Structure 1
Amino acid sequence: MKKLISIFVLAGLLTFSVSYATTAKEISLNNEHIVLNDDISPLCKAAMKGDVDQVRSLIATGNKPNEKSLGMTPAMFAARYNRVEVLKVLLLNGANLNMKSENGYTAKDYAKMSNAKEVLSVIEENS
């Protein structure tokens, strides 16, 4: 009987951990709550987090700086979350700031909506 109960508990825990692993992940960065969806490309995730080294590494391994994920480019994610250094790396690698998201917004629009002043000044310098 104890074995049977142990098996059911173990099966329940396994089911829970598998279903949890496939859902979105939530993190907090600098008092900012961010939900990371598994559907977001690694480059867009790195841009959102502000992980400059990861952005460089991903571009070096063939990730495209203008490839959209969830309808937005990595530059749009960098603009939305005021990731200045990430945006500079993306620009050095050919990021197009004039592309529009599925909602019709550019990286500049996302920077304005987020009041990302530092990113906005970089975008204006490169326009």
Structure 2
Amino acid sequence: MKKVILTCLLASFSLGSFAYSNSHFHPEVIASSPVEKTELNSFCKAIIKGNVEVVKQLIALGEDVNKKSLGKTPAMYAARYNKAEILALLIENGAKLSLKSDKEKFTAKKFAELSNAKDALAVITASNK
């Protein structure tokens, strides 16, 4: 019986030591590994949330109204989420509605159509006149 208990304790200790030694990460390996940025930028998050004041402030601070985040322009996010006031603001500040998304190859107008964003479509139609 003592042998069984000792064997179990030894096995548990060995497995615990192995798990502990493998749980430590090596910062130098992580730091040198290529990291793909997969997070939506703050400008586009403010657009999706409909925070007009933050969007205005970021534009005033020099935010690029055509810079893509996750392959889509800010105008595409405004169109997709039917943020008509923000979309108009982006257009006033030079947003290019002819740009296409990286993955789907859609324009802001196509995103508005697909999401039935009628207010955003009205803004896009008015800007094309």
TM-score by structure 1 length? 0.69
**Aligned equivalents of 2:93 and 2:42: distance in 1?**
16
Alignment of 1:102-117 (within 5 A): 102=102, 103-117=104-118
What residue is the counterpart of 2:90 in the other structure?
A: 90
1:107 CA displacement: 0.3
Amino acid of the residue matched to residue 56 of structure 1? Answer: K
**Aligned equivalents of 2:55 and 2:86: distance in 1?**
7
Secondary structure (helix, strand or coil) at the match of 1:55 reads helix
**Aligned equivalents of 1:57 and 1:42: distance in 2?**
12
**Aligned equivalents of 1:78 and 1:55: distance in 2?**
11
* Greater C-alpha radius of gyration: 2
Divergent runs of 4+, >4 A: none
1:42 CA displacement: 1.2
**Aligned equivalents of 2:41 and 2:58: distance in 1?**
10
Q: Would you tell me which structure has more strand in proportion to its own residues?
A: 1
Amino acid of the residue matched to residue 61 of structure 1? Answer: L
Alignment of 1:53-72 (within 5 A): 53-72=53-72
Q: Would you tell me which structure has more helix in proportion to its own residues?
A: 2
**Aligned equivalents of 2:41 and 2:62: distance in 1?**
13
What residue is the counterpart of 2:25 in the other structure?
A: none
Q: Among the aligned pairs, what percent are the same residue?
A: 50
Q: Which runs of 5+ in 2 are unaligned?
A: 1-37
Provide Cα deviations, 1:62-101, integer angstroms capped at 9, x if missing partner: 1100000000001000000000111011011100011000
**Aligned equivalents of 2:50 and 2:105: distance in 1?**
24
TM-score by structure 2 length? 0.68
